[in-house]
Chains A and B, each alone.
Chain A
Amino acid sequence: MAINLKKVLGHECRWIMPKSGGMKVDGVIFATEEIINDLEGTKAIEQVRNVAYLPGILKASSAMPDIHEGYGFPIGGVAATDLNDGVVSPGGIGYDINCGVRLMVSNLTRDDVLKRQEDLVNNLFANIPTGVGKKGSIRLSRKQLEQVLEEGAGWAVRNGYGWDSDLEYCEENGCMDGADPAYVSDRARKRGSDALGTLGSGNHFIEVSYVEEIFDQEAAQVFGLFKDQAVFWVHSGSRGLGHQVCSDYLHVMRRAVSKYGISLPDRQLDCAPIASDEGKRYFAAMASAANYAWANRQILAHYVRESVRQTFGKSPESLGMYMLYDVAHNIGKLEEHIVDGVARKVLVHRKGATRAFGPGHPHVPEKYRQVGQPVLIPGDMGRASYVLKGTQAAMELSFGSACHGAGRALSRTQARRAITAEELREELARRGVFVRAATMKGLVEEAPDAYKDVSVVVEATHCAGLAQKVARVRPMGVIKG
């Protein structure tokens, strides 16, 4: 079926796909013409259309400016469904449930870090388990794992991995309501029992960066950011436990679509009514996996603080290593939004999209409420990452959502052909970045040129009004799985 996608008059970064066929709502893509043209030959736009078939979807099937082909949903896809007659779709949340990003500030400067750059990265690499199959040092009993699944980041803080104040600066305070470990399979539990406090492989990373440019002085000040400041990123998720929850419930949903007579164009969108037994069980398991991911990032952040202590001989407290924020970018959330002029509770699926609540929203920490939620957008290890702030426009346009990152430009094989490990190390050194990775091959696959330029995505997000630029940071040190 031909897809009718046209630019919305008067909006440089908004495209509409009018409802047709089995679509229950329009498709809307927030992107520049260049980004749209780059999607040619992929299924991403078709996936925006397919998501619009979901029963109970409200307003639109949306895609953020980092849209690219995913599984069922496009990456960058956002869909809100009605709690009464809508569905929950594991494909709209993804395999790595609550994959997300956390950013910590410090009172260290770029110069401070450059003096100890290699030591810092080596300490991070020594202290943080990375790579395929790497087990963590935390061994959880069945009861402890259940506590992690119920309490999220709070469990980690209660057990000495971080500060009480960290929780205030996590989306959902690092713990999602509705979690019930009873719906997490033994297989998923086993995969999670020794992976807590591990980074994983692929695009997950720990990074120390410096604030290169500030675009919004007022918001930067509220977020505690200043020029040349050293900041610390953690990008990880729910590890094998989240993957197993997704796989387990995709099988449940296969039966559910037949049982409830749901017709969809792609079986990776398989789903169940939110109010059904299958939907409730998946949500409870998904929330449990999300809590596991928040506990994981909390522990990884603790290891980062301890590595900084080891490197600089000063306490993380004296170095002002406070949490700026922690955001989830693969998740399903129960939120209240205005639909057709009425406040309604909806389930927002964000698959490769970041919550971007605007000023005054009660779920934004009080300290940030006047400017809007921090929106953390990681880029690649050689160029830049961004801090943005959520907007009222996002509340109206995208259920309070914005982009989440850059997206790959090259396949892993292409990346390996494009540059050798030695060349990459030299190139990164020229850019002032020192890197350690579990394998050289894995490092090359994650080379900067293997990714699209995140600045293009951020400019489109800013242009669409979904979030506004606050600061750009440049990497100085990275560890990769």
Chain B
Amino acid sequence: MSRGFLVSDHVADVRVRAWGLGFEEVFSEMSKGMWSVMFGEARIPALDKWNIEVTGADMEDLLVAFLNEQLALFDMEGLAVADIERIDIRPVKLGPGREGEEVLLDAAVSGAHVSQVQARVNLHIKAATFHGLRLTPTEAWITFDV
């Protein structure tokens, strides 16, 4: 398959391998993998749309920030992601008074409030970590703290 993800259960955490053609697909598949851990086989309906914007010092930092932003929105607003409809990743200059560049991710996602998902949380992911993180333009591994 050209894109997809695979979840593996470890003693104290969960690892997800995601693959695709380019960072955008890899990030998107990793996000799907994360939500499949959270809700198992239950389908998250695409009833609403919202945007996610995060920055990172590099691509690995950006991937972790993207996933943790989704977890924070779930924690605060109860928002669960069904699909990543669009991802743009581009370098940007650091803010005023700072020299250098960082990477910006701008995504449009669809999903629903947790109360609209016909299932309880399967496994609550608390954070995406840098532990054992591997990222190439076609593949990524992330360890999630659960």
State the A residues within 8 Å of B (CB): 42-43, 68-72, 75, 91, 95-96, 132-133, 187, 190-191, 201-202, 240, 243-244, 246-247, 250-251, 254-255, 258, 266-268, 270, 407-414, 439, 441
How many residues of chain B are within 8 Å of chain A by beta carbon? 32
Q: A71-B130, A95-B126, A132-B120 are in contact. List 19 more A-B contacts (CB 8 A).
A: A75-B12, A96-B126, A132-B124, A133-B75, A133-B78, A133-B114, A187-B76, A191-B76, A202-B124, A202-B126, A240-B72, A254-B56, A254-B57, A255-B57, A267-B133, A268-B131, A408-B11, A408-B12, A412-B123
Q: Which residues of B contact A (CB under 8 A)?
A: 9-12, 56-58, 60-61, 64-65, 68, 72, 75-76, 78, 114, 120-124, 126-127, 129-133, 143, 145-146
Q: Chain A contacts of B60 at CB under 8 A?
A: 267
Contact status B75-A411, CB under 8 Å: no
Which of B12, B78, B127 is within 8 Å of A247, CB to CB?
Answer: B127
Residue in B12, B133, B145 whose CB lies within 8 Å of A68: B12
Q: Whole-angstrom distance between the alpha carbons of A413 and B56 in the complex?
A: 33
Asked if A190 and B76 make an inter-chain contact with CB atoms under 8 angstroms apart, the answer reads yes
A243 to B146: give the CA distance in the assembly, Å: 12
Please report the C-alpha to C-alpha distance between residue A42 and residue B143 in the assembled complex, in whole angstroms: 14
Bound CA span A234–B138, Å: 45
How many Å lie between the Cα of A70 and that of B132 in the bound state?
Answer: 11
Kindly provide the distance from the CB of A185 to the nearest chain B CB, expressed in whole angstroms: 10
Q: Which residue of B lies closest to A193 (CB)?
A: B76
Knowing A191-B75, A201-B124, A412-B9, the reply to whether A247 touches B68 (Cβ < 8 A) is yes
B-side contacts of A69, CB under 8 Å: 11-12
Residues in B neighbouring A268, C-beta threshold 8 A: 129-131
CB distance from B26 to the nearest CB of A (A): 18
Query: How many pairs of residues, A versus B, come closer than 8 Å at their CB atoms?
Result: 88
In the assembly, what is the distance between CA of A439 and CA of B145, in Å?
A: 19
Q: Which residue of A72, A251, A441 is within 8 Å of B56 (Cβ)?
A: A251
Measured between beta carbons, the chain B residues less than 8 angstroms from A75 are 12
A–B complex contacts, Cβ < 8 Å, 19 sampled? A68-B11, A71-B143, A71-B145, A132-B124, A133-B78, A191-B75, A201-B124, A240-B72, A247-B68, A247-B127, A251-B56, A251-B57, A251-B64, A254-B56, A266-B130, A266-B131, A268-B129, A268-B130, A439-B120
Residues of A within 8 A of B124 (CB): 132, 201-202
Residues of B within 8 A of A247 (CB): 64-65, 68, 72, 127
CB neighbours (8 Å) of A439 from chain B are 120
Contact, CB under 8 Å: A251 / B65: yes
Given contacts A132-B121, A201-B124, A202-B146, contact A413 B9 (CB under 8 A): yes
Q: Across the interface, do A267 and B130 meet the contact criterion of CB distance under 8 Å?
A: yes
Q: In this complex, what residue of A is CB-closest to B77?
A: A190
In angstroms, Cα B57 to Cα A250, docked, is 11
A414 / chain B contacts, CB cutoff of 8 Å: 9
Bound CA–CA A282/B78 (angstroms): 27
Q: Are B57 and A411 interface neighbours, CB within 8 A?
A: no
Q: How many angstroms from the CA of A150 to the CA of B34 in the assembled complex?
A: 35
Contact of B64 among A95, A250, A266, A412 (CB under 8 A): A250
Q: Contacts of B57 on A, CB cut-off 8 Å?
A: 251, 254-255, 258
**B97: min CB distance to chain A, Å:** 13
Bound complex: CA of A191 vs CA of B129, how far in Å?
Answer: 18
A43, A246, A254, A270 — most chain B CB neighbours (10 Å)? A254
Docked Cα-Cα span, A43 to B131, in Å, equals 11
Q: Which residues of A contact B127 (CB under 8 A)?
A: 95, 243, 246-247
Q: Which residues of A contact B56 (CB under 8 A)?
A: 251, 254
Give the most central of B68, B78, B120, B131: most A CB within 10 Å.
Answer: B131
Chain B residue at minimum C-beta to C-beta distance from A194 = B76
Chain B residue, CB-CB nearest to A195: B75
Q: What A residues does B61 contact at CB under 8 A?
A: 251, 254
B contact residues around A91 at 8 Å (CB)? 130
* Max chain B Cβ within 10 angstroms of own Cβ: one of A191, A202, A255, A258: A255
